[in-house]
Amino acid sequence: MSLPFTLLIDPVSVDSERISFDDTFHEMDSAAPALRVGELSAQRGDGIFETLSVVNGHPQEVEPHIARLRDSAEICDLPVPNPAQWRAAIAYAVARLPQQGELALKFVLSRGVESGPAPTAWLHATRAADFGAVRATGVRVVTLDRGYPRGVAERAPWLLMGAKTLSYAINMAALREATRRGADDTIFVTTDGYVMEGPTSSVIVRIDGVYVTPAPNGAILHGTTQQSLFEYLRAQGVPVEYRDVTLSELREADASWLVSSVRLAVSVTTLDGAPMRTDFAVSNEFNSYLLGRTDN
């Protein structure tokens, strides 16, 4: 099967609590139109998604991605996805994808066509960009104010901060702003100076030998790759911690990484133009571990 690969899933029964899909999946020509313009994904960015990596035929962290899709659905008042059906759809797609190399497999649950009967769901796989170089050399990062003070997520759940919605225009704008400033990526900070996350990644900081990530207290996404790395570190007896991280702690860190499902772990080499301490040996170890996962 050539890439990109597209699979539409037809919902057969939906109520406000739960969505079930047809067991048959519809492979589409990715170059052909698949969505109506009345789609709320396209009109309103109104839906949720996950992107997982498929490495040499092995989909990575399927269960954490499905779990987060369910969390996102709940936050967004979407019918809660049936894990068994998403598992089946992912397996169906992966069986038809190239069994060599790194792929990105996105799965989407949109609120559907406006005034329509049901959500829309699809999977879309593409060849991953070649991230070999950036894994080896790291990224230059700028910090950008996310506009929100710490604690707003709990007070204002309608801001959907813990959900991975399709409304990513700000995330994309933040990456363009990084480029404009001569950098490669962005770390969002709260208006009061706390580290949040990247537009498409989680932040891990090593402080006095402890691997720390900002607590996913509703204001940021709970990163599937970050969780995977914390499991790996814990298994080796290395201390890990979820807690608030200030911008000055980030600047002074022993080392820091942006981690995400497809690009995996990349070292932060500069922050707002200033050099950062790095540990490329650990970056390499992280990526070897991440690329070697075959248990799901």
17 vs 74: CA distance, rounded Å: 9
For a copy of itself (CB under 8 A), the number of binding residues is 59
The residue among 70 and 206 lying less far from a copy of itself, judged by its C-beta, is 70
Cis amide linkage into residue 157, ω under 30° from 0: no
The residue among 29 and 63 lying less far from a copy of itself, judged by its C-beta, is 29
- Binds a copy of itself (CB under 8 A): choice among 169, 235, 274, 281: 169
Burial class (CB within 10 angstroms; exposed 0-12, middle 13-18, buried 19+) of 44: middle
The residue among 120 and 278 lying less far from a copy of itself, judged by its C-beta, is 120
Q: Is 217 in the site for a copy of itself (CB under 8 A)?
A: no
Token pair 């936050």 is found at 75
Pick from 151, 176, 185, 153: which is nearest to 256 by CA?
185
Q: Is 53 in the site for a copy of itself (CB under 8 A)?
A: no
Overall residue count recorded for the chain in this entry: 296
The residue among 132 and 157 lying less far from a copy of itself, judged by its C-beta, is 157
Q: Is 49 in the site for a copy of itself (CB under 8 A)?
A: yes
CA atoms within 13 A on the CB side of 168: 17
Q: Is 210 in the site for a copy of itself (CB under 8 A)?
A: no
- Binds a copy of itself (CB under 8 A): choice among 25, 46, 55, 183: 46
251 vs 272: CA distance, rounded Å: 10
CB of 110 to a copy of itself, least distance (A): 7
The two structure tokens encoding residue 150: 């710490």
| φ, ψ for residue 256, nearest 5 deg | -150, 155
CB within 8 Å of 90: residues ≥ 6 apart: 52, 59, 62, 105, 107, 123
Q: Is 77 in the site for a copy of itself (CB under 8 A)?
A: yes
Q: Is 33 in the site for a copy of itself (CB under 8 A)?
A: yes
Token pair 């492979």 is found at 27
| φ, ψ for residue 183, nearest 5 deg | -115, 180
Part of the chain binding a copy of itself (CB under 8 A), chosen from 19-27, 83-91, 144-152, 242-250: 144-152
The residue among 12 and 156 lying less far from a copy of itself, judged by its C-beta, is 156
CB of 194 to a copy of itself, least distance (A): 14
The two structure tokens encoding residue 20: 């079930």
CB of 150 to a copy of itself, least distance (A): 11
SS3 199: coil
Q: Is 38 in the site for a copy of itself (CB under 8 A)?
A: yes
Q: Is 1 in the site for a copy of itself (CB under 8 A)?
A: no
- Binds a copy of itself (CB under 8 A): choice among 166, 205, 220, 290: 166
116 vs 126: CA distance, rounded Å: 29
The residue among 168 and 232 lying less far from a copy of itself, judged by its C-beta, is 168
Q: Is 149 in the site for a copy of itself (CB under 8 A)?
A: yes
70 vs 185: CA distance, rounded Å: 28
Residues that bind a copy of itself (CB under 8 A): 4, 6, 28, 30-47, 49, 76-77, 106, 108, 110-111, 114, 122, 124, 126, 144-149, 152, 155-160, 163, 165-174, 176-177, 191
